[in-house]
A and B are shown apart, each in its own frame.
Chain A
């Protein structure tokens, strides 16, 4: 593998020195190569995910509408489903009960301000949720509380439409579907900013 060519044959001491150098190099090389490998090797554990199993779980919906399924619903259709599926916890008109208030008290209920001692309590779809797609995503994955994940796409579109209407965001006859829902501009849109805690010497 490693040869020293040319010149006179080295004496025994020089040979030993070379051997030592070679040994150190090989050992060091092996060590570094091993560490490098762990950073670079792909072990190949696991198996390729099938399109079907991804589709079964890939239910998230982004603000740009990516992930919204086919289907549609209107506020009127949603109102009936709401009574059956949601009112027990959230109140007949989304005013809250056992669980969160979903609907603003009035169309001009403000975005919660840090200067208002009760700000944290005023978080409804109409004054705090920045994206309409989040309403669809959350209902579809988590609601109703005692039977999550059981609503059809049409039912979720309908409930989303009903809640947006109760919050004065869309008119009574607006149909929500994969094209219209991402276009809804929420009252709280633009009211959020990414973590800006940069100067750690400051209280924030």
Chain B
């Protein structure tokens, strides 16, 4: 579609022209052909030609292994990749290939509105001003001297749904714009105390140092949990995730966790930036659009079995992730009969608030055509809705943000697993 917004390629029905590309299909197949680098026993990199498996000794117990290295690499047999959008303004996490709940930083989804900026951390600064008694400029090292805090939580793009996906679609393409990390930095409350924020302040503007100079207004209700973070899974935040510092707004739509943070302006009203008016608002009933709907509602997705897996009759461990922006996941339920009945899945520790939780459910498949699906229930009692219930509540034109309907996978007689296609309108 010619309307594709190169700067705003959220996963919406109209903008999904991207992605069922050959590249996506290739990535969908594990172990796609290509040139890879391996390391020989001497630690030297060796290139392995396209289409063949990396060459390794037939018996690793008979050859001295390679020596210690400065920076670890994954095995040449492992080739997990993000899938990038047509305009390369976003990429998605391979949910179907991950284990546990932490997303490797190199596979964290991306969404940027004007590319990934190159920033020298020694020159970067964060200015906090506005309704404060002492406008202050912090260097990155200043921030690291303040009391640190760490938090494991998901970040999810509010446009995280491939609405009109065909059968040959991976979990990565359905919902791969959610990822989870352990973030480390400074509590926003610490910074606001440092600068003497006015108790009467009720909004703040967070601004990035990218070419979009992206801005979002954040209401006070979210300040207690918000952070300014410099580390992701123990090392510096990745460039595409906000290096050297980003805002972190747990449980909320990802764009409010403003990356490459350079400025916070404390205020008593919202700024009504383009991202919170023209974008990231959704039409609802009553002829209006919902605005500042920052919290991500509960959601889940089965990651195994899913396209392009094949399965056999007998016991199958259904696995997936569930999450909610309102707190802890209370339960994940799995249906193996197209939504007629539901069973409680086992939740795997840790169960953290505003975080991906892994669930699993043993299912004995009789080999007949069926649909498996999952739904999340969070500690507020909210139950992830069916697509029909969602559309009934919101209206079919309510896209493209905050869409969290139940999604499923069809197990075809014979063992092929495909996305369960549903009409949107």
Q: Do A and B come from one complex?
A: yes
- Chain A residues with CB under 8 Å of chain B are 38, 40, 42-50, 53-54, 57-64, 89, 96-101, 111-121, 123, 125, 128-131, 133-134, 137-138, 141-142, 145, 148-149, 191-197, 200-204
Are A142's CB and B295's CB within 8 A? Answer: no
Residue B393 at the chain A interface, CB threshold 8 Å: yes
Are A57's CB and B262's CB within 8 A? Answer: yes
Are B278's CB and A123's CB within 8 A? Answer: yes
A-B contact count (CB 8 A): 212
Are B194's CB and A53's CB within 8 A? Answer: no
Give the shortest distance, in Å, between B226 (CB) and chain A (any CB): 17
Sample (18) of A-B pairs whose CB atoms are under 8 Å apart: A42-B196, A48-B135, A48-B137, A49-B128, A114-B394, A117-B425, A118-B397, A120-B283, A128-B278, A134-B273, A142-B212, A145-B114, A149-B211, A191-B287, A192-B290, A201-B380, A203-B389, A204-B284
Are A195's CB and B291's CB within 8 A? Answer: yes
**Given A63, A116, A133, which contacts B397 in the complex, CB threshold below 8 Å?**
A116
**Given A49, A101, A125, A197, which contacts B127 in the complex, CB threshold below 8 Å?**
A49
Residue B333 at the chain A interface, CB threshold 8 Å: no
Question: Contacts A42-B193, A100-B3, A131-B277 known; A113 to B397 CB distance under 8 Å?
Answer: yes
Are B194's CB and A119's CB within 8 A? Answer: no
Question: Contacts A48-B134, A201-B382 known; A117 to B142 CB distance under 8 Å?
Answer: no
In B252-273, the 8 Å CB interface with A consists of 262-263, 265, 267, 269, 271-273
Cα–Cα, bound, A120→B7 (Å): 16
**Nearest residue in B to A192 (C-beta to C-beta)?**
B291
**Given B127, B272, B425, which contacts A63 in the complex, CB threshold below 8 Å?**
B272
**Nearest residue in A to B379 (C-beta to C-beta)?**
A200
Interface of B is mostly: loop
Cα–Cα, bound, A21→B123 (Å): 53
Place the interface of chain B in its size category: 35 or more
**Given A53, A58, A111, A129, which contacts B287 in the complex, CB threshold below 8 Å?**
A111
Are B397's CB and A114's CB within 8 A? Answer: yes
Give the shortest distance, in Å, between A105 (CB) and chain B (any CB): 13
- Chain B residues with CB under 8 Å of chain A are 2-8, 12-14, 113-114, 127-129, 134-139, 142-143, 145-147, 193-194, 196, 205, 207, 211-213, 215, 262-263, 265, 267, 269, 271-274, 277-279, 281-285, 287-295, 297, 326, 378, 380-383, 385, 389-390, 392-400, 424-425
